[in-house]
Amino acid sequence: MARKSRNPNFDQALEVLRAHSFEVVPFAGVAGGMLVSKGGAAAVLVAAPANDGASAFIVRQGALVQGEVARLLDRGYQKFIKTSKFELPATAGQLEAMHRFGEELKQLTGAVSLYNESLGTTSDLYQYDRLKGREAVQDAAARPWEPAGGH
């Protein structure tokens, strides 16, 4: 007999989030998406596929800046909040709010909480300045086992 999931379905998860002081509103950018926000952080949730164990799938999570969910950008020396219009250095308060928001959201919706994400805020985009320009195509490495010339 199949075991019944303890995770709430999508509508139940939204009600649980509302009961825990999350603001839940429809999101126009994603079909069937709901913008969930609390404490300066937000995420866009959609219903998970029927065969998945989770009730909601996080499309995007980040800081809420002027009604837009901003991405967290890591440049190696500092994290930045990146929106479609501008880029700002992330403050410790913003990073803490995003981390707390993500952990609470995962716990209430029944999503998987990963160890490395539980340690601190993780970025979804990494752009190290020392590596800039290295993405150009480089010559293939020499293969000493292949005969050179026409032999």
Question: In this predicted model, what pLDDT tens digit does every residue of 60-78 receive, in sequence order?
Answer: 788 888 888 888 888 877 8
Helix then strand then coil, in percent of the chain rounded to 5, is 25, 30, 50
Q: Which residues pair with 60 in a beta bridge?
A: 44
What are the residue ranges spanned by the domains of the chain?
A: 10-127
Of residues 112 and 100, more confidently modeled? 100
pTM of the predicted model, to two decimals? 0.69
What does the pLDDT read at residue 18? Answer: 92
Percent of the chain surpassing pLDDT 90: 13
Q: Give the distance, in angstroms, between the CA of residue 102 and the centroid of all CA atoms in the same chain.
A: 9
For 118-151, what is each residue's pLDDT tens digit?
Answer: 666 666 666 666 556 666 666 667 777 777 765 5
pLDDT band at 25 (very low <50, low <70, confident <90, very high): very high
Report the alpha-carbon distance of residue 30 to residue 8 in Å, rounded. Answer: 22
Q: What mean pLDDT do residues 94-119 have?
A: 80
Amino acid at site 122: T
Degrees (nearest 5) of the Cα angle 83, 17, 9?
Answer: 105
Higher pLDDT, 93 or 10: 93
